[in-house]
Amino acid sequence: MRKMDEMELHISNNAIRWAWAFTVLALAGWSIWDVVLMGKITAPAYLLIFQNLLYFLAVQIGKWRAGDESSRTSILLCGAMTVVFLALGALLLWHMGR
């Protein structure tokens, strides 16, 4: 597999940004709709939160690997928050299955 040139990389990054923005808007709209209709937070809200936590974690890990030592505390904080939201998501799925 060959490496992408700069133009291909730019096009790919733009496509990823647009797909991410669509997913965020769709999950946010779905979450708001569920809160208004059911009065509770449902799976789309957890997916939205978890997706953004993973994005932030990946960015911080990339910065740390590039030599930014100040991102270490952000990685620990975001990692802990990711574990908490994974547990909450598991509880939500377990509750929905009952």
Tell me what pLDDT residue 33 has: 93
**Residues 6 or more apart in contact with residue 91 via CB below 8 angstroms:** none
- Per residue in 60-98, pLDDT tens? 888 888 887 777 777 778 778 878 877 877 787 777 766
- Percentage, residues of the chain above pLDDT 90: 26
Tell me what pLDDT residue 21 has: 93
Tell me what pLDDT residue 18 has: 95
Q: For residues 23 and 92, which has the higher predicted lDDT (pLDDT)?
A: 23
**Residues 6 or more apart in contact with residue 72 via CB below 8 angstroms:** 64
Q: Where are the domains of the chain?
A: 6-97
Q: For residues 38 and 95, which has the higher predicted lDDT (pLDDT)?
A: 38
Per-residue pLDDT for 32 more than 80? yes
**For 43-52, what is the mean pLDDT?**
87
